[in-house]
Structure 1
């Protein structure tokens, strides 16, 4: 995996050893950040089900003001930390938050502590039934800034709702068996 653009362009990100994760393909990541190009700089970025941290690291490279990584797997959190250090980024900086936690519980934590985000990237294990649950949790907890964007990466065979409470599906992009679904507040 490599960082496509920004401050760390061309640098490699190591695979996470001991974790059973699916990596966001460079082609999908490049398209995602092309779509987000006007809003990524200065944003508060949440990488839910972060896995390798590949997407959050790309956001940081492209100027996100802060990135929060959430994953339940300790190997993923350790791997993200190691990749950040390899890039010369200290994981304890105020702009970086690593959370080994269930994503749904993390959303409740952010709500209780009044932590909000401009961009939320959701990439749960495919076909695990977590997309709708996560969107419902986000919709029922106020963790979104005004004009925020929510992006879900999912398998083409996984149906996603067009509306969940205050969230509306506004766009979908297909890349082979992967789909990016974009949501906004109504």
Structure 2
């Protein structure tokens, strides 16, 4: 089991799939949302959680005031768990919060969603064994559906290389937490592999 850390659904327990997922630790999740809160990227935003697993990242955003959250997860069991967790959080928020679970591959979803700028925050926490070519394809397909000032997070193992940023998406911050590295990017920025603390805008 894991839990929502803060916000209106804070301390609510969430299910975790029995296998096939790697939940983000509470420490790293708190770091992610401290950054987003500092940048003003949570309340009222539209959030896309790719490789959602239990949905804990996206649902943390919903608890903290995101207007809309979409969880994309291809594995049937994990998608079912994410759906139950979404209902748990929505009920804690009075039933008005909107969280949608899409059972599809990330690439298929990104290639078929309406090609208009829409996502303010994108959280990408793929399996550590996901190939760099597939991750790069995901990032290329993501660019057309981002809001102009969006924040994009890629969570990877410290043993993984820097993601291959496509044209239209550039690095603004890198931060390591033990075996986990958080890569933050924004639309239309130039890649800067030495970035360590700048914020999107």
TM-score (norm 2): 0.84
Instruction: For residues 29-56 of structure 1, give each alpha carbon's deviation from its aligned partner in whole angstroms, at most 9, with x where no partner exists.
Output: 0000000002100000000000010101
Unaligned runs of 5+ in 1: none
Matching residue of 2:24: 24
Equivalents in 1 of 2:165, 2:79: separation in Å? 32
Equivalents in 2 of 1:94, 1:107: separation in Å? 23
Does the aligned pair in 2 maintain the 1:162–1:169 contact within 8 Å?
no
Does the aligned pair in 1 maintain the 2:45–2:68 contact within 8 Å?
yes
> 1:27 Cα deviation (Å)?
0.3
Matching residue of 2:196: none
Greater alpha carbon shift after TM alignment, 3-12 vs 60-69:
3-12
Equivalents in 2 of 1:60, 1:180: separation in Å? 20
Matching residue of 1:4: 5
1:102 aligns with 2:74: no
Does the aligned pair in 1 maintain the 2:8–2:92 contact within 8 Å?
no
Equivalents in 2 of 1:69, 1:61: separation in Å? 14
> 1:163 Cα deviation (Å)?
3.9
TM-score (norm 1): 0.90
* Root mean square deviation, CA, Å: 1.9
Does the residue aligned with 1:165 lie in a helix, a strand or coil? coil
Equivalents in 2 of 1:39, 1:25: separation in Å? 21
> 1:162 Cα deviation (Å)?
6.4
> 1:89 Cα deviation (Å)?
6.2
Does the residue aligned with 1:84 lie in a helix, a strand or coil? helix
Does the residue aligned with 1:121 lie in a helix, a strand or coil? strand
Does the aligned pair in 1 maintain the 2:117–2:148 contact within 8 Å?
no
> 1:161 Cα deviation (Å)?
3.9
> 1:82 Cα deviation (Å)?
1.3
Does the aligned pair in 2 maintain the 1:131–1:160 contact within 8 Å?
no
Does the aligned pair in 1 maintain the 2:136–2:164 contact within 8 Å?
no
Matching residue of 1:136: 140
Q: How many residues align structurally?
A: 181
Equivalents in 2 of 1:54, 1:103: separation in Å? 17
Instruction: For residues 68-120 of structure 1, give each alpha carbon's deviation from its aligned partner in whole angstroms, at most 9, with x where no partner exists.
Output: 00010011111011122334269x978222100010110112234x4620001
Greater alpha carbon shift after TM alignment, 94-103 vs 39-48:
94-103
Match of 2:80 among 78, 81, 89: 78
Spell out the pairing of 1:57-96 with structure 2 (5 A cutoff).
57-87=59-89, 88=91, 95-96=98-99
